[in-house]
Structure 1
Amino acid sequence: MLVEVEKIASFPGSPVLAQVKTAFGRTAVRWCGDPTAGPGEYHVEWTVDEDIIWGRNAKSAVGAGPDIRPGGDCVVLRGRLNLTGDGVGVLDVDGTAILLDLAGPMPDGAIGTWVELHIERERIALYPYEL
């Protein structure tokens, strides 16, 4: 996914965070690239380092369409929930696939629908890459 990094900041005892903007939202997340990188556009891979548990950090979305926004100390990601052939969870956020570790079964009817994940910002990471 192409994101615009607005700023990168580090604070003692905490991971490097990037304030990022997309066509459908903005938030701050853990940055796993060069901590001295400047503002600009970057192609990134998103990772979620938290087990997904329906009713705890995953729920049906109120709206439709991709969304990324802050939610207190969390980041809210909205996308379509799918499963791979071998049962791995995938959140499709505007054509970008984010792999998920599902800690249990999803409720009937959740697969293929819009869902929201509420993940601590330090548990979501962006890994920049070059095309």
Structure 2
Amino acid sequence: MLIELVKVAKFPGRPWLADVRTSFGHAAVRWCGDQAAEPGEYHVEWTIDEDIVWGHNAKPAVGIGPGLRTGGHCVVLRGQLSLTEDGAALLDFDSTNILLDLADPLPEDVASTWVEFFIEHEKVSLYPYIL
């Protein structure tokens, strides 16, 4: 996914965070690239490093379409959920798939619905890559 990197910063006791913008929102998330990265456009892979627990950090979305915003002490990601036959879950985040770690199986009726995940800033990571 193409994002705009606004800045990279480090706060005491925390990992490097990137202030990023997309066409559907912006938030600060963990930056796993060059700490001296200049502002600009970057292609990135997204990961969520937290187990998904339906009803706790995953809920039905308010609205449809991809979304990214800050929600208190967390990042809110909105996307469309899909479940594979073998029980894995993916978040379609503006045509970018994020593989999810599930604490428990998700309810079957949430497949293909819009969902929101509420994840700590440091547990949403961006890995830049060059095309």
- Shorter-normalised TM range: over 0.9
Q: How does 1:1-131 map to 2 (within 5 A)?
A: 1-131=1-131
Q: Which runs of 5+ in 2 are unaligned?
A: none
Distance in 1 separating the partners of 2:127 and 2:70 = 19
Distance in 2 separating the partners of 1:130 and 1:86 = 31
1:84 to 1:108, Cα distance in 2 relative to 1, 3 A:
closer
How many percent of aligned residue pairs carry the same amino acid?
64
Q: Give the letter for the 1:11 counterpart.
A: F
Distance in 1 separating the partners of 2:25 and 2:85 = 30
The answer (yes or no) to whether the contact 2:32–2:126 under 8 Å persists in 1 is yes
Deviations 1:92-120 (A, max 9, x none): 01100011001112123101000000000
Distance in 2 separating the partners of 1:49 and 1:85 = 22
Q: CA deviation at 1:122?
A: 0.5
Q: CA RMSD in A?
A: 0.8
Q: Give the letter for the 1:25 counterpart.
A: G
Give me the TM-score of the superposition, normalised by structure 1: 0.97
SS at match of 1:122: helix
Distance in 2 separating the partners of 1:76 and 1:117 = 5
Q: CA deviation at 1:22?
A: 0.3
Give me the TM-score of the superposition, normalised by structure 2: 0.97
Q: Which runs of 5+ in 1 are unaligned?
A: none
Distance in 2 separating the partners of 1:52 and 1:19 = 24
Q: CA deviation at 1:46?
A: 0.3
Distance in 1 separating the partners of 2:55 and 2:120 = 15
Q: Give the letter for the 1:54 counterpart.
A: W
The answer (yes or no) to whether the contact 2:87–2:105 under 8 Å persists in 1 is no
Aligned length: 131
